[in-house]
Amino acid sequence: MDSAAALEDVDENIARVCRIARRERDDVNLIAVSKTHPADAIEPLLAAGHRLFGENRVQEAADKWPALRERYDGVELHLIGQLQSNKAEDAAALFDVIHSLDRPSLLKALAKAYDKLGKRVPCFVQVDVGEEEQKGGCAIADLPELLARAKEADIPLLGLMCIPPADKEPAPFFALLGELARRHEPEPGAWGLSMGMSADFETAIMLGATHIRVGSALFGARG
Ligand SMILES: *Cc1c(COP(=O)(O)O)cnc(C)c1O
């Protein structure tokens, strides 16, 4: 199956789950995660009209996307991977949304880059819901402090993001992320939830995901 056919399949699935969840289809954004896939593999999705993409490495995105953006209008590029503070400026220049704000040092680096570039890229705060440090994410106990600092530094926040442990049932972690968002969002319904990947996006939508990050279901397995 090519990626354009896979996109139709995934889209139908999203619509079906939205009907069950009594949610509006437009409230769920499908981020096509194109990491490791070359421009050739991405183009069928662009040609089919898809415009929302995710990458997990700044350098890889910088190599692939400027040329694609010249050929297709309206591309929105999201950084979904861990971000080193020394790449904050490159990330701010290249991406439209950052999903991996997770610590004060990165927050500082982003604020500095935003001031320099005159551009404030909105962020999701990544939460370490599974207490797995190697995946990044802010510890739940540190979340209030990080959110307060983001406000001080005038970093626009879109909501919370998580990657649940691969070997556990994801639903409780998705529910927890939703609970944390409701507790901390500035007003009811203000925040989105970036959660759900190829294997579990239906569950994530049932539990309120607004941004699902889907790679292998669209592009096939990564080599
Ligand atoms: C790779 C990746 C995805 C997509 O994973 P699939 O299982 O291929 O859908 C989603 N989120 C993050 C943070 C990723 O790194």
Token pair 């694609």: residue: 68
Quote the crossing angle between the two packed helices 143-152 and 104-117, to the nearest 10°.
20
Query: 3-class SS at 39?
Result: helix
Span 86-134, pLDDT tens digits: 999 999 999 999 999 999 999 999 999 999 999 999 999 999 999 887 7
pTM tops 0.95: yes
pLDDT at 221 (0 to 100):
84
Residue list, ligand 1 pocket, CB within 6 Å: 33, 35, 56, 80-81, 163, 197-199, 213-217
Name the CA radius of gyration of the chain, rounded. Answer: 17
Q: How many angstroms does the Cα of residue 173 sit away from the middle of ligand 1?
A: 16
How much is the average pLDDT of 192-216? 98
Phi and psi (nearest 5°) for 7?
A: -60, -40
> What dotted CATH number matches 3-219?
3.20.20.10
Span 68-91, pLDDT tens digits: 999 999 999 999 999 999 999 999
Judge whether residue 143 has pLDDT over 80. Answer: yes
Give the mutation target among 80, 126, 205 for probing the ligand 1 site: most ligand atoms within 8 A of CB: 80
Name residues whose C-beta falls within 8 Å of residue 151's C-beta, 6 or more positions apart in sequence. none
Span 18-68, pLDDT tens digits: 999 999 999 999 999 999 999 999 999 999 999 999 999 999 999 999 999
Q: Is residue 75 within 8 Å of 43, Cβ to Cβ?
A: no
